[in-house]
């Protein structure tokens, strides 16, 4: 996935013309603005994912435009996304963000919380729980990063084994520009690459 946050529409168009089809954004206002400025071919043909912390009062800026919300980090957000989608006749693919990094500031669920959600997944009619997302500790220590990715992979496999009837649960979004090679070793199905594609951020 090409993480296009902080980059102008021209950069997305250039990536689209080069064959990129999945893009990630993490600011509601920026996403909504881009959806109104990008060529219709890209708005309709590309797949946009939301990656950042999503406040429930910003859902209408995001949910009409994206195929997946990768950053569901509270039950309240999951419930509000579900309500919005049911009301608007849409089913949204979502990933549950698992807290795997060392930083206390990172959002996300712990393993037991993810299991609680999965045991109650049938109650959600407007979302499809498609897997897990996580961010490794902010460090250059590759052993620490690998341990973080191993932890989320272990829980991903455990959930799949525990709920084999959930055929949608197959996505593992780990790895960014600096650690995607490690993430691939642990079975990432999405890697979130920004600077390696677009260069330094444009603020």
CA R_g for the chain: 16
CB 66, CB 81: distance < 8 Å:
no
The answer, yes or no, to whether residue 8 has pLDDT greater than 80, is yes
Written out in words, the top-level CATH class of the domain with range 2-198 is alpha beta
Q: Give the Cα separation of 87 and 106 in Å (integer).
A: 30
3-state helix, strand, coil in the chain (%, to 5): 45, 20, 35
**Does the predicted model carry a pTM greater than 0.85?**
yes
Q: What is the pLDDT of residue 105?
A: 60
**Number of CB atoms found within 10 A of residue 14's CB:** 14
| DSSP class of 84 | H
Alpha carbon of residue 147 to chain centroid? 20
Task: Dump pLDDT digits (tens) for 30-66.
Answer: 999 999 999 999 999 999 999 989 999 999 999 999 9
Buried b (16+ CB within 10 A) or exposed e, 110-148: ebeebbebbeebeebebbbbbbbbbbbeeeeeeeebbeb
Sheet holding 22-25, edge to edge: 2-3, 22-25, 47-50, 68-72, 92-97, 127-133, 171-176, 190-192
Structure tokens at 113: 């919380």
Q: Give the Cα separation of 31 and 199 in Å (integer).
A: 19
What is 115-177 written as a DSSP string? HHHHHTGGG-SSEEEEEEE----SSS-HHHHHHHHHHHHHHHHHHHHH-TT-TT--EEEEEET
Task: Dump pLDDT digits (tens) for 56-111.
Answer: 999 999 999 999 999 999 999 999 999 999 999 999 999 999 998 776 666 899 99
Q: What is the pLDDT of residue 203?
A: 55
Domain ranges within the chain, ordered by starting residue: 2-198
């Amino acid at each position: 996935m090409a993480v296009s946050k902080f980059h102008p529409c021209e950069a997305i168009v250039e990536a689209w013309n080069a064959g990129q089809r999945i893009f990630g954004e993490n600011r509601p206002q920026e996403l909504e603005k881009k959806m109104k400025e990008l060529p219709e071919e890209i708005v309709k043909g590309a797949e946009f994912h939301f990656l950042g912390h999503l406040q429930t009062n910003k859902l209408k800026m995001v949910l009409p435009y994206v195929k997946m919300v990768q950053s569901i980090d509270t039950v309240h957000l999951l419930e509000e996304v579900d309500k919005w989608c049911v009301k608007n006749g849409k089913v949204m693919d979502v990933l549950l963000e698992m807290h795997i990094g060392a930083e206390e500031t990172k959002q996300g669920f712990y393993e037991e919380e993810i299991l609680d959600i999965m045991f109650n997944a049938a109650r959600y009619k407007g979302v499809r729980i498609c897997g897990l997302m996580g961010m490794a500790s902010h460090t250059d220590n590759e052993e620490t990063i690998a341990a973080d990715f191993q932890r989320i992979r272990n829980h991903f496999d455990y959930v799949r084994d525990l709920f084999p009837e959930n055929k949608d649960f197959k996505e593992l979004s780990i790895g960014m520009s600096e650690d995607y090679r490690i993430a691939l070793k642990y079975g990432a199905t999405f890697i979130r690459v920004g600077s390696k594609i677009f260069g330094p951020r444009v603020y």
